[in-house]
Structure 1
Amino acid sequence: MLKLENITVLYDGKVLAVDNVNLEVKQGEFVGIIGSSGSGKSSLLKTINLLVRPYKGKVLVDNVDVTGLSNSQLRSIRKSIGFVFQDYNLIDRSTVIDNVLVGRLGYKSSFKSIFGIFSDEDYERASTALRQVGLSEKMFERADQLSGGQKQRVAIAKTLCQRPKIILADEPVSSLDVSTSQTIMDYFKKVNEKKNITIMINLHDVNLAKKYCRRIIGLKNGKVVYDGSAGDLRDELLEAIYL
């Protein structure tokens, strides 16, 4: 379903962020990616939907090499790949419902995207997504009036509004307290189990990764040094990842 072949990412032609990574992820997997700061976690995740383009290698989604697509073809593929950012990536002055509707822009013509023209079906999907993350009552509040945890739930709802097959999440709970972090992870787990959406999530908290992710990938200096089940991630393996 998702396959990375010999992915290498360079910055400025010399800084090696991801080093010849090969991975295969099946539909419905919940994958946690761990590693120290600078290990290549964000670069690897952003390569999947080409927010970062690899120096070499292929990214295949449903056997389609996305690295060779035109801009219009890539735009179509990205509809099936949601991305949840650490900093929420919301429009603070817009309402919650308007932020969630951004998830439908990939399905719109340029004209409708520019002028924000949405159908009744779009509004219904946005409302459903907000209901799924427990924020229906915040629908018409401005995003900048929300707590950090609520903003991240809006970001998840926006992604759900895309109807994605894959959700990529880059450190989505790193700025949240422990209780709120677990609430957000609960929503990811619910989405994964109820909708069979593939989740790939970068986490700085190993305990959260072991609690929620069935499969864990450990990165060090841009290389995969662990790829296995959460239950098999013993202390000596963690030392190899972080020390």
Structure 2
Amino acid sequence: MLRLENITVIYDGKVLAVDDVNLEVNQGEFVGIIGSSGSGKSSLLKTINLLVRPYKGKVFMDDIDVTGLSDAQLRNMRKSIGFVFQDYNLIERSTVLDNVLIGRLGYKSPLKSLLGLFSDDDYERAITALKQVGLSEKMFVRAGELSGGQKQRVAIAKTLCQRPKIILADEPVASLDIATSQNIMDYFKKVNEKKNITILINLHDVNIAKKYCNRIVALKKGKIIFDGRPGEIDDRLLENLYS
């Protein structure tokens, strides 16, 4: 489903963030990406939907070279890729429902997107997504009035509203307490298992990664130093990874 070939990311012509990474991810996998701050986790994730353009290498989705797409083709492709940010990426003055409807903008013409014109089907999908994350009762509340965990659930609902094949999540529980983090990870696990949506998620907590993910990729200085099952991770690897 997803294939990265020789991906290299360089910032400002001198900062090497991702170093010649090759990675294949199959439909329905739940992949945790771990590593210390500055290891290249965020850059790698953002390269998949070209929020960051690689200096070298190619990204393939369903055998289509994403890096070679036109702007219009890329916009169409991004409909199938959801992205959940650490900082929620919500419009706090807008209602929860309006934020979730943003997930449908990729299916709209530029004019309808500008005017915020949504169909009955769009509203039905948004309401269904909110039910899936347990926030139906909050749909008319302003996003800024929610707790951090609720905001992240709205972000997940917005992503689900896209009907994506794959979800990319960049440290979505980093700023949440332990109980809320587990709650959010439970939603990701449910989405993965019930809908067979592929998930790649950056995590700073190795224990959370081992508990929820069926595959773990470890990055250090932009290179993959481990790619395997959670049970294969040992203290020696972790010492090397975070030293």
TM over 0.5: yes
**What is the deviation of 1:54?**
0.2
The residue identity in structure 1 corresponding to 2:168 is L
In structure 2, the partner of 1:209 is: 209
Matched positions, count: 243
In structure 2, the partner of 1:55 is: 55
The residue identity in structure 2 corresponding to 1:101 is L
TM-score, L = length of structure 1: 1.00
Aligned residues: CA RMSD = 0.4
In structure 2, the partner of 1:75 is: 75
**What is the deviation of 1:242?**
1.1
CA distance in 2, matches of 1:117, 1:100: 14
In structure 2, the partner of 1:129 is: 129
Where does structure 1 lack aligned partners over 5 or more consecutive residues? Answer: none
The residue identity in structure 2 corresponding to 1:196 is N
CA distance in 2, matches of 1:141, 1:72: 34
CA distance in 2, matches of 1:112, 1:195: 29
The residue identity in structure 2 corresponding to 1:49 is N
CA distance in 2, matches of 1:109, 1:165: 21
Matched ranges for 1:1-243 at <5 A: 1-243=1-243
**What is the deviation of 1:239?**
1.3
CA distance in 2, matches of 1:155, 1:70: 27
Measured against aligned partners, the alpha-carbon deviations of 1:80-134 in whole angstroms (never above 9, x if no partner) come to 0000000000000000000000000000001100000000000000000000000
**What is the deviation of 1:152?**
0.1
The residue identity in structure 2 corresponding to 1:213 is C
CA distance in 1, matches of 2:57, 2:117: 38
CA distance in 2, matches of 1:76, 1:68: 13
Identity, % of aligned positions: 80
CA distance in 2, matches of 1:225, 1:98: 42
CA distance in 2, matches of 1:196, 1:30: 9
CA distance in 2, matches of 1:242, 1:132: 36
The residue identity in structure 2 corresponding to 1:14 is K
The residue identity in structure 1 corresponding to 2:32 is G
**What is the deviation of 1:164?**
0.2
**What is the deviation of 1:240?**
1.8
**What is the deviation of 1:18?**
0.1
Measured against aligned partners, the alpha-carbon deviations of 1:173-200 in whole angstroms (never above 9, x if no partner) come to 0000000000000000000000000000
CA distance in 2, matches of 1:238, 1:63: 34
The residue identity in structure 1 corresponding to 2:177 is D
